[in-house]
Structure 1
């Protein structure tokens, strides 16, 4: 589950420029997208929101694994049969996803799409699945069986029944692409928020930074820090709304693709950095890896920072982020 906990716009009562801010909420890629554009006039702002919607739709038609005619669906249909040629854009996204799988040793894996959904987080589970069922649920998962041929721009899933999906990266990738598109068109400020994968650029019409308020999921009515968004992107992964408890242990709805068991120990991770796509990969991975291994990983990437909250409400951060500097 990707969710930015609380976004705060701090606008002054007047603007010193003629810029206007327009916002629209739409459903794209099966999720909620909040699109905010700052432009010289309302017509320009609305036209550019339309351009953002068109770009997200274009990307969805390429990578959606539930649209039968998408390139990713064709890759999945040919699992165990043969390689499928895809656009350079789709190939590059898949290549970056496999890089994440490598650096996280499988904690992030786009072949999770083939996982059996044996865990239920709707209140219907009354007991733990058997170890045998858990093991079987991930038998078709494994990024090592994804074969990329850069020269031919093909993707091949070696095992029959394998699937890949971009539910964990697609919205962040789309948000980043839309930010770049808007900058190329001369739109110097805005936010594209795809279901919590948020790509920002520029400043508000009054010249102030975009800011985000962070809440502790265990105390949802309290914002404990406000962080300025000067690094383009922020993503939060959380398990505070979908989980089960067995024998006093909390199991999150985010599943470890290697073991088939739900992540435990961490209830929220917020990652800041230049790319929403990459921030999403980190946030999902840190939920699975847990506090110690997760912080060790992200500390190797100084362009990215994180705030991590454990199941017992303790707050931690990467070495390059001093939470105290933003505490209220």
Structure 2
């Protein structure tokens, strides 16, 4: 975690809004103290320090989040992997990279990555990383979880509507003050900044994963900043994946996994989850979208205004 959260609430008065926003901030901080791997005192950091040494007892909340992440890892065949945190940072997406990493460097970089080497004991509520040097990290998945928890807390507090935006992972509920739906714009990844479609949200989370802001190109081929945990190589073939559904945590895991899986496997995967809809855009601008989004399948172009 560590990302920026924007909180918008529809409340009867400013005092109520400020009080509830403070409650959301406190909840986000509580979750961050539990699961952020960059906080030395967090339970996840304790798990990582004891990789290859011993199991670590964690709160049931952390255990359940890890359990769900491992389930997603298995369902995607490793396209999503919470042990990806151990991968060495050999890919640079800041403009400084001029040559491809060698196959040997890539293989070494993922040597400590592998969700199958994570052992959970439900009775003891422990997590054990079998290999020394392994790490787990929740990153944006944790941000989606925090957005979900904050939304649920606001609903329980009687706040009728709002948006929790966790660095792009959005959990929404209710309607705008004028009675209209919340609306999210979908960016044309071939022409960053151009919104080619607007989708109304009804009690929905929405998350977009994309390669159009961070990538490198070698020999005319684009390599995304989203890395395949199983191979150590960047995902190719898709420019962006947007997922809508009841949970920002799940939508985040799905969108990231789909970027790695590629078009055909991604479409097969998401159709297993009828509560979730999608907008998938290939590197060549072809759109594939759920009927519920109202977006027609077509090909996007640069400098296209619609």
- After TM superposition, the score normalised by the length of structure 2 is 0.95
- Which aligned pairs between 1:119-198 and structure 2 lie closer than 5 A? 119-198=91-170
| Shift in Å, 1:312 | 1.3
The question of whether the paired residues in 1 share the 8 Å contact of 2:2 and 2:36 is answered with no
Displacement of 1:192 in angstroms is 0.3
Aligned residue pairs, count = 299
Cα RMSD after superposing both structures:
1.4
Residues of 2 paired with 1:130 and 1:232: CA distance?
42
State the Cα distance separating 1:74 from its structure 2 match. Answer: 0.3
Which among 179, 198, 201 is matched to residue 173 of structure 2? 201
Report the TM-score, using the length of structure 1 for normalisation. 0.89
The alpha-carbon deviation at position 55 of structure 1 amounts to: 0.3
Structure 1: which 5+ residue stretches go unaligned? 1-28
Cα deviation, 1:171-221, whole Å, max 9, x if unaligned, reads 000000000000111111111000011000111111111011112111234
What's 2:278 paired with?
306
The offset of 1:300, in angstroms, is 1.0
Matches within 5 A, 1:65-144: 65-144=37-116
The reply to whether residue 37 of structure 1 matches residue 9 of structure 2 is yes
Counterpart Cα distance in 2 of 1:192 and 1:72: 24
Tell me the residue number matched to 1:7: none
Q: Which has the higher contact order (CA 8 A, sep 6+)?
A: 1
Aligned residue for 1:226, secondary structure, equals strand
Q: How far apart are the structure 1 equivalents of 2:91 and 2:191? A: 26
Q: Does 1:288 align with 2:260?
A: yes
Residues 1:55 and 2:19 are matched in the alignment = no
> Any stretches of 5+ residues in structure 2 without a counterpart?
298-304
Shift of 1:50: 0.6
Give the deviation of 1:311 after TM superposition. 1.0
Q: Paired residue for 2:187?
A: 215
The match for 2:300 is none
CA contact (8 A) 1:168 1:284 kept: no
